[in-house]
């Protein structure tokens, strides 16, 4: 496969509707994880560049600016136009996404389709954001006005780059905010390409700025900047904690966080074992396991445990691992050497602690960051693979007896992003749903994420919500107006 199938057109910073070099002149390489070869050098933004982007966003947010005085319906039309441009460029974008991230091309096309739907959904909200009239006591008329929070910093992860960009930009643009977005350093290419499309769509100068760079420099500059009003972050719990500290120390900016997970999927013995194994397989191995809400703790009731393990192992063993542009590939490479080494270390820890490898359990050759889909049985709750987020193609199958027992074990984690249950008994499903702490709860399905439904976590999986009407709240301030009659 040649890296030149689709030319990389944009590798500079996008600030104030222009592509520019970093102030420092620094660049960093982005690589193809399937062969470890450099794709291109990308401009490396840091504090000086974030300052420029914030200044541009501040000017764009002035009361008399084109963006602030634009009709809300016109904002929506710009968003619809952006969605159309992304759809028209989906093949090039999908190629760049797969080249940079490693996911199979069909998966990238699906992500782009979901991103288009996200922009369209929030475009429809642009002229429907309004307050309420309030029957206040006394001789007063009272109402609320909803207004944009202002300049926002957004830091997105590498596992779903173009989709996470849409999740962030969609509600921020619909509410009228201006934006500084930092893509992950592993996967900056589609964010820059979409940035060019925002200019083509007609967004005014300074409304959308995209600054690639590293977390400790560009990311830190965003979370600690005194002129950014809010920061939205998707990534690890550890980094999320750092962002909260920096946000508090600077200007007490608002924060929304979508962080890690170690989500339980519980299979009861009244559910068809073949269907259960297939659902659980998808819950773990989608996107090479690089999924924050992956159902990586697969709890299976003891009566069907052995049969489930056998089926699950066969499903994993049959998956085709290979180049992301091969139409037969089902599992591409992991995104980077760092992630590859982490996943292999976690697999080794499972072996050392006594879990049984039923499928996979090793790397695939040395040309890229490939790992065989791995299934562990005989996993206990105290094992590292059952406690810590792996973020790779590794399933842990854990035995349980009763619903009361499994509820306690499902909740025995610092995370609370997602959970699932497979059962034909409505009472069992409702009891599990009611008592397990998770922001998303799937019953007889898993990882069904709709643009219309809010998504976010409990506990150390973060706070705030993305998607749905609730996603707009993260970018709005409520102003109460009281008038004496």
Residues 92 and 39 in one domain: yes
pLDDT digits (tens, 9 = 90+) for 24-45: 999 999 999 999 999 999 999 9
Residues 380 and 476 in one domain: no
Name the active-site residue from 258, 358, 389, 466.
258
Q: What is the dihedral of CA 476, 477, 478, 479, to 10 degrees?
A: -130
The answer to whether residue 164 sits within a structural domain is: yes
Is the four-CA dihedral 479, 242, 195, 64 of positive or negative sign? positive
The model's confidence at residue 173, banded by pLDDT at 50, 70 and 90, is: very high
Question: What is the per-residue pLDDT for 6?
Answer: 81
Judge whether 348 counts as a catalytic residue.
Answer: no
Residues 467 and 378 in one domain: no
pLDDT digits (tens, 9 = 90+) for 379-394: 999 999 999 999 999 9
The answer to whether residue 123 sits within a structural domain is: yes
The model's confidence at residue 278, banded by pLDDT at 50, 70 and 90, is: very high
* Cβ neighbours around 227 below 10 Å, total: 14
Average pLDDT, the chain: 97
Residues 241 and 282 in one domain: no
The model's confidence at residue 348, banded by pLDDT at 50, 70 and 90, is: very high
Mean pLDDT of 53-66: 98
Number of domains in the chain: 2
The answer to whether residue 473 sits within a structural domain is: yes
Residues 296 and 269 in one domain: yes
The answer to whether residue 20 sits within a structural domain is: yes
The answer to whether residue 278 sits within a structural domain is: yes
Question: What is the per-residue pLDDT for 5?
Answer: 72
CATH number at residue 113: 3.40.605.10
Which residue segment(s) compose the domain that 190 sits in?
Answer: 13-259+462-484
Mean pLDDT of 104-124: 98
Residues 335 and 297 in one domain: yes
Is residue 1's pLDDT more than 50?
Answer: no
pLDDT digits (tens, 9 = 90+) for 447-473: 999 999 999 999 999 999 999 999 999
The answer to whether residue 8 sits within a structural domain is: no
Is residue 3's pLDDT more than 90?
Answer: no
Residues 255 and 268 in one domain: no
Residues 132 and 161 in one domain: yes
Residues 290 and 336 in one domain: yes
pLDDT digits (tens, 9 = 90+) for 405-434: 999 999 999 999 999 999 999 999 999 999
CATH number at residue 273: 3.40.309.10
Is residue 76's pLDDT more than 90?
Answer: yes
The answer to whether residue 6 sits within a structural domain is: no
Residues 360 and 447 in one domain: yes
Residues 151 and 300 in one domain: no
The answer to whether residue 399 sits within a structural domain is: yes
Mean pLDDT of 366-382: 97
Residues 268 and 254 in one domain: no
């Amino acid at each position: 496969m040649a890296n030149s199938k689709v030319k990389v057109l944009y590798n500079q910073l996008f600030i104030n509707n222009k592509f520019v070099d970093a102030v420092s002149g620094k660049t960093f390489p982005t690589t193809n994880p399937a062969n470890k070869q450099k794709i291109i050098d990308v401009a490396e933004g840091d504090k000086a560049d974030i300052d420029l982007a914030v200044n541009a966003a501040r000017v764009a947010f002035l009361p008399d600016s084109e963006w602030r005085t634009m009709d809300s319906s016109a904002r929506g039309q710009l968003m619809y136009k952006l969605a159309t441009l992304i759809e028209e460029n989906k093949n090039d974008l999908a190629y760049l996404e797969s080249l940079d991230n490693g996911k199979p091309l069909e998966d990238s096309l699906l992500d782009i389709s979901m991103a288009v739907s996200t922009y369209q959904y929030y475009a429809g909200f642009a002229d429907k954001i309004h307050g309420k009239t309030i029957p206040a006591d006394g001789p007063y008329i009272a109402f609320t006005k909803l207004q944009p929070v202002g300049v926002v910093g957004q830091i997105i992860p590498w596992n779903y780059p173009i989709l996470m960009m849409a999740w962030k930009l969609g509600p921020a643009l619909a509410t009228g905010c201006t934006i500084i977005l930092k893509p992950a350093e592993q996967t900056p290419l589609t964010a820059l390409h979409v940035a060019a499309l925002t200019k083509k769509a007609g967004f005014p100068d300074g409304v959308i700025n995209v600054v690639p760079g590293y977390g400790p420099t560009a990311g830190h500059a965003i979370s600690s900047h005194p002129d950014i009003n809010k920061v939205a972050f998707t990534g690890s719990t550890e980094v999320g904690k750092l962002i909260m500290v920096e946000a508090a120390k600077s200007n007490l900016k608002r924060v929304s966080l979508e962080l890690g997970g170690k989500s339980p999927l519980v299979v009861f013995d009244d559910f068809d074992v073949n269907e259960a194994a297939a659902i659980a397989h998808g819950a773990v191995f989608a996107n090479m396991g690089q999924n924050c809400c992956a159902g990586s703790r697969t709890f299976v009731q003891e009566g069907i445990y052995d049969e489930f393990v056998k089926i699950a192992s066969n499903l994993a063993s049959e998956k085709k691992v290979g180049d992301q542009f091969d139409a037969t590939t089902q599992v591409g490479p992991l995104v980077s050497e760092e992630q590859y080494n982490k996943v292999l270390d976690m697999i080794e820890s499972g072996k050392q602690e006594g879990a049984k490898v039923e499928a996979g359990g090793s790397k695939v050759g040395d040309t890229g960051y490939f790992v065989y889909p791995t299934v562990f049985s005989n996993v206990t709750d105290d094992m590292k693979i059952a406690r810590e987020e792996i973020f790779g193609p590794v399933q842990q199958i854990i035995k349980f007896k009763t619903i009361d027992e499994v509820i306690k074990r499902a909740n025995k984690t610092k995370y609370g992003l997602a959970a699932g249950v497979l059962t034909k008994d409505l009472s069992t499903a409702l009891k599990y749903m009611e008592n397990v702490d998770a922001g998303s709860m799937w019953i007889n399905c898993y990882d069904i994420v709709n643009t219309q439904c809010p998504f976010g976590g409990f506990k150390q999986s973060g706070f705030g919500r993305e998607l749905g009407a609730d996603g707009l709240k993260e970018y709005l301030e409520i102003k109460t107006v009281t008038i004496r009659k």
